Amino acid sequence: MFENIWTAIAIGQRVVKTIAALKKDVDSFRSGNVQARVQFAQMEALDKRTGELEFLAKEQDDRLRKIENSLTDVLTATEAVARRTGTIFWIAAAGCALSLPALVLSLVTFFLHR
C-alpha cells in the first residue's frame, strides 16, 4: 500500500519538476509578468511539499517494516514457549502416571509388612 503511495508521489514529483522546468523555459521567451512568477513560486512550493511527503511516506514504510519484523519475532518466541510448555505438561503427566502405581505398591507393602 505504501509502495503504491510512494510511487505515486515520486511520479507526481517528477511531473511537477518537468512542468516547472518547462514553465521556466516558456517564461524566458515571454515578457515576465507577476502572475507567472506567482504560479512558478506555487509550483516550487508544491514540488517542495511533494518531496516532504515522499520522505514521510518512506519513513512510515520503514517503521511499518520494523513493526512487522518485531511482530514476527514475537510470534516465533510465543510458539517456542507454547511448544516447551506442552512438553513440560506431557513430562509431568507421564511422571504422575508412572508414580501412581509406585505409590500404590509402596502403600500395599507398607500395610502388609506392618
pTM: 0.48
- In the chain, domain spans: 2-112
Q: What is the DSSP letter of 30?
A: S
Give, for all 114 residues of the chain, the pLDDT tens digit.
Answer: 667 777 777 777 777 777 777 777 666 665 556 566 777 778 888 888 888 988 999 999 999 999 999 999 999 999 999 999 999 999 999 999 999 999 999 999 999 987
- With contact defined as beta carbons under 8 Å apart, do 24 and 40 qualify? yes
